Amino acid sequence: MTVRLNKDALAHARGLIRDGKIERDERDDWSEHAPSTDRENEFIDEHGMAAFARWHLGEDTEATEGTKGRYKFPYGDFRRLHRCAVISAESRAGQYDHDEIKEGFKDLLDRIDAES
């Protein structure tokens, strides 16, 4: 599996932070705040796969284009960036040696915390 940084998603996340569209939740909240599979499918039906991709900092270039499985490391609920998702994803990216993605999440967390 080759997972690369989705630069469009990183720019989108930075824009959400700049616009104040942040949920300042706690580290362990992501399991409760993450969109359900049904919500993901509804979002794709309404907005398309390109919009779905912008909510994921990782892209698996070996997965089929146009599928949800291609996009990894979500950071929000399609309305707001969640601090808990950023923390969780930074840790997971480091665990799997996706250094560029980990650094992207570190940058986002630094920006979120600087806004506090």
Helix, strand, coil percentages (3-state) for the chain, rounded to 5, are: 60, 15, 25
Chain segment 7-32, per-residue pLDDT in tens? 999 999 999 999 999 999 877 899 89
CA distances from 99 to 31, 46, 65, 86, 90 (A): 23, 33, 23, 14, 9
Q: What is the pLDDT of residue 27?
A: 73
Q: Which residues pair with 81 in a beta bridge?
A: 22, 76
100 contacts 4 by C-beta, under 8 angstroms? yes
Mean pLDDT, residues 91-110? 97
What's the mean per-residue pLDDT of the chain? 96
- The mean pLDDT of 56-63, rounded to a whole number, is 97
pLDDT band at 116 (very low <50, low <70, confident <90, very high): low
